[in-house]
Structure formats: structure tokens, C-alpha cells
């Protein structure tokens, strides 16, 4: 395997050392092949909101396995999943299932181009929307961690149709539209960025995107692959009261199995084949196992008290970690929205890629390994979010805070 892994950040290149190979996981912990157990704050990059091997998910999967693993034909499960998403996310009137977040964003952008007859898209520096060609321009996540330039293999003609702007800077987007407005099909954004670390939108930023795109006849796409059902049942768009034209989803709606989805206004979604001319297909889309696992999770998340518990857990942990850094004389800045957070090794506010990039990556790497030695598994990159789930008990949170105190002292 290239680099020994099947996804770049797993290689620990951003923190140094040898990656841990995982043998099993349960609740809020993972165990590696050498028998060491860690309190896990990666959670498969977000979907384990109920914890690893959640009993209701495992039980549902055991039952579903006996009925077969893939049909390549419609199932009731797909209809139930569509109904669950539409009920939770007000802006979504129709939805199409796919197999990954990358597929979801690629498909949503194709639909935006097809529906508007325009070619250009706008993304924001440091936002990552999967590894589709047009989206690997000033991306975050593994690209930033590894210090790679815009990816070789992305043609100049494709890159020319992608315009970038600074996150949290509405005036810069206004300027982009003044120059290219008639050619812009869509603006795509992570409403709360998770791929340059957790970076929330400033007050009014998302509504400004909504106003600008509507004024110029472009579509607004919220990439909620990470934030959907994570920050609230209705995602970040519920939390910040903004209504996009299209939404991309993933992570939690598969309950830990490969999945993605995109949805939005009925008049747009009816332009997708076979209802309309914009083509997109997939043999494994709506796979019965992924639908089964996802439905088990989404039905549990109808209980909105879960989000209250996650909010309190996030506050408790990040306040304790920040206090531990101050006690050790280590400069950090922590961003958190609900159960997503990142502790940046910088002394200034982080609100876009430029400010995130000031973080001391080497120091983060040392902290990461110190936490690993204390039995806490964080993201092996300064530019990723951490995730808390319902399985993170108060005891585990307190143990994590104590581990952080010890880790900061080693710096």
C-alpha cells in the first residue's frame, strides 16, 4: 500500500512515528494489535457518535446480514433513510444516496453545474470536500498535514474552474462574484470546518454566503459530511439557521459503514437521472448494511437530549485541557462547536487557514505522542477535528484531562 496505508493521514506523517494498527474498538476506546487500549477522540473521523460497536447498531446489522449484503436493486431501507434525512434537515426535500463524502460533493457540484449552466465553483482555503479533482485546490486535511501542493494529476483546465476565497471573509467572496459572478455555479463550504482543525463560522458569515449566492443566481452547497447529525439533528444549518440549496452528508448516516448522500430542493434534485439529465449512479449506493447501521444511529438521535449531553461533555473536556495548558505555560487556542473541537498550538485566534497554519506542528506532534503514551488517541494531525461521543463518560473525560496535564508538562 502506498505509504503503508489506505488514506494518507493514517501514516502519522504529520506527527512522526509509527501508526498504531487497530485490532478492535468498543464504546469510547480502541485497542491496537499490541494490546494497548486508548480513549479514542477520532471516532472513525466522526461517525461513532454512539461509540464503537454500539449495541443497537451491531444487533441491527446481525439481523440484516442474514438477508444478504447487496442487491443492486431498490429496498425499503433506502426509502426509510430518505424519510429520516428529510424529516431532520428542513432544506432537504429529496435525497440521493452514494458511497462516500467525496462522491456526495462531486455529485452535488455536477448537479449545480448542470442546473445553472455555469462552469465555475468557489471553495474556501483550508476546506476539504473529498479528493475530487476540482476540489483539490487549497484543500485542508491530509494535503495540509503533508505539506503537499495542489495535487499532481489535477489538470489546469479543471483547476481554472475552481476559485478559492478565505474562510470567514464575506467581502472577499463579494469581490469574487463581482469579477466572475455570471460564471459561478455554486459556492461549497464546510459550515463548521473540520479539515483545517475545527474552525467555526463567524457570526453572519454563513448568512452572507446565502445572500450573495442568491443575489447572483448561484447555488449554496453546505458540505455537512462531518457536521450533519453531529452538531444537531438538523446539522450545522439548524444550529446556524441557514438554508442551503444543496447539502452533502456522510459519516454518521452510515453508522460506521461507507456511505454518503446529497440532497436539497426538489426542483434541483429532479434534474438527476433517471428523473432528469444530470447523470450519477452507483451499484452500492443505498447498500442495505449501510442503511441498516445508519438508521439505527439516526433513530437514536431523535432524542435531542443527546446533543445536550455532548455539548456539556465538549465544554467540560476543552475547558480542562485549556486549563492544563495554561498551568504548564503552553500557548494553545481551542475551537469547539458542540462535540467537535481542536486544540491549536498557537497563541492567537484561529478563524481561517492562514491563522490555523501558524500553529506549531512539531509541538503538536510531541503532544500527540505524549497523549498516546498516556492512553489517549487524538487525530494524528494538527489540522483535524476531535470528536466526542455518548460513550465518553465523565470518568473518561477526567482521565483525558489528567493525561493532558501530564502531556503538556513534557513540552
Cell, residue 367 = 503532544
Kindly name the residue from 169, 223, 245, 352 that is annotated as catalytic.
Answer: 223
Quickly name the fold that domain 55-300 has.
Answer: 3.40.640
Q: What is the pLDDT of residues 347-361, one digit of tens each?
A: 999 999 999 999 999
**CA-to-CA dists, residue 244 to 173, 235, 283, angstroms:** 16, 12, 28
Q: Can you tell me which residue has the cell 492562514? A: 354
pLDDT for the residue numbered 141: 46
Q: Which of 128, 240, 307, 364 is catalytic?
A: 128
Q: Under 8 Å CB-to-CB from 172, ≥6 apart: which residues?
A: 165, 166
Of 157, 112, 164, 118, the closest CA to residue 137 belongs to: 164
Q: What are phi and psi of 4, to 5 degrees?
A: 80, 5
- Contact call for residues 122 and 173 (beta carbons, < 8 A): yes
Instruction: Using DSSP bridges, classify how beta strands 219-224 and 184-189 pair: parallel, antiparallel or unpaired.
Output: parallel
pLDDT, residue 61, reads 98
The residues of the chain scoring below 70 in pLDDT are 137-151
Residue-wise pLDDT tens digits, 168-183: 999 999 999 999 999 9
DSSP class of 147? T
Catalytic annotation present for 358: no
Neighbouring residues of 310: CB distance < 8 A, sequence distance ≥ 6: 49, 338, 339, 388, 389, 390
pLDDT at residue number 332: 98
Strands (E), 251-318: 260-264
Q: How far apart are CA 206 and CA 187, in angstroms?
A: 11
* CATH 3.90.1150.10 placement within the chain: 2-54+304-409
Kindly report, as residue ranges, where domains of CATH 3.40.640.10 are found in the chain.
55-300
pLDDT of 150 reads 59
Q: What share of the chain is helix, strand, coil (3-state, %, to 5)?
A: 40, 15, 40
Q: Which residue has the cell 442487491?
A: 71
In the annotation, is 138 catalytic? no
Inter-residue contact 185 to 118 (CB < 8 Å): yes
CATH class of 2-54+304-409: alpha beta
Amino acid 175: pLDDT: 94
To the query of whether residue 223 is one of the catalytic residues in this protein, the response is: yes
- Choose the catalytic residue: 251, 262, 351, 364: 251
Amino acid at each position: 500500500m502506498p505509504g503503508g496505508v489506505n488514506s494518507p493521514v493514517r501514516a502519522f506523517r504529520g506527527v512522526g512515528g509509527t501508526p498504531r494498527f487497530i485490532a478492535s474498538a468498543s464504546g469510547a476506546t480502541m485497542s491496537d494489535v499490541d494490546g494497548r487500549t486508548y480513549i479514542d477522540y477520532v471516532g472513525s473521523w466522526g461517525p461513532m457518535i454512539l461509540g464503537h460497536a454500539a449495541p443497537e447498531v451491531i444487533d441491527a446489522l446481525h439481523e440484516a446480514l442474514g438477508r444478504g449484503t447487496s442487491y443492486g436493486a431498490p429496498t425499503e431501507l433506502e426509502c426509510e433513510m430518505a424519510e429520516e434525512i428529510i424529516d431532520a434537515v428542513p432544506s432537504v426535500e429529496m435525497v440521493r444516496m452514494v458511497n462516500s463524502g467525496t462522491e456526495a460533493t462531486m455529485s452535488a457540484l455536477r448537479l449545480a453545474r448542470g442546473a445553472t449552466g455555469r462552469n465555475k465553483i468557489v471553495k474556501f482555503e483550508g476546506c476539504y470536500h473529498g479528493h475530487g479533482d476540482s476540489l483539490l485546490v487549497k484543500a485542508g486535511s491530509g494535503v495540509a498535514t503533508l505539506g503537499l501542493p495542489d495535487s499532481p494529476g489535477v489538470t489546469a483546465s479543471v483547476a481554472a474552474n475552481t476559485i478559492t476565497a478565505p474562510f470567514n471573509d464575506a467581502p472577499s467572496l463579494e469581490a469574487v462574484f463581482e469579477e466572475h459572478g455570471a460564471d459561478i455555479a455554486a459556492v461549497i463550504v464546510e459550515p463548521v470546518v473540520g479539515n483545517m482543525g475545527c474552525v467555526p463560522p463567524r457570526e453572519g458569515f454563513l448568512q452572507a454566503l446565502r445572500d450573495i449566492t442568491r443575489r447572483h443566481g448561484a447555488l449554496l452547497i453546505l458540505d455537512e459530511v462531518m457536521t450533519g447529525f453531529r452538531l444537531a439533528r438538523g446539522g450545522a444549518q439548524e444550529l446556524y439557521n441557514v438554508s442551503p440549496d444543496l447539502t452533502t452528508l456522510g459519516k454518521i448516516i452510515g453508522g460506521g459503514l461507507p456511505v454518503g448522500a446529497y440532497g436539497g430542493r426538489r426542483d434541483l434534485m429532479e434534474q438527476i437521472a433517471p428523473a432528469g439529465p444530470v447523470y450519477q449512479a452507483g451499484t452500492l449506493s443505498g447498500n442495505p448494511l449501510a442503511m441498516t447501521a445508519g438508521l439505527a444511529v439516526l433513530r437514536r438521535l431523535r432524542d435531542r437530549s443527546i446533543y445536550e449531553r455532548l455539548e456539556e461533555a465538549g465544554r467540560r473536556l476543552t475547558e480542562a485541557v485549556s486549563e492544563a495548558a495554561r498551568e504548564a505555560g503552553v500557548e494553545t487556542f481551542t475551537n469547539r462547536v458542540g462535540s467537535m473541537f481542536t486544540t491549536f498550538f498557537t497563541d492567537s485566534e484561529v478563524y481561517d487557514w492562514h491563522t490555523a497554519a501558524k500553529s506549531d506542528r512539531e509541538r503538536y506532534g510531541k503532544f500527540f505522542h505524549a497523549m498516546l503514551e498516556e492512553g489517549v488517541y487524538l487525530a494524528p494531525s494538527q489540522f483535524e477535528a476531535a470528536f466526542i461521543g455518548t460513550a465518553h463518560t465523565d470518568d473518561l473525560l477526567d482521565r483525558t484531562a489528567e493525561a493532558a496535564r501530564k502531556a503538556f508538562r513534557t513540552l
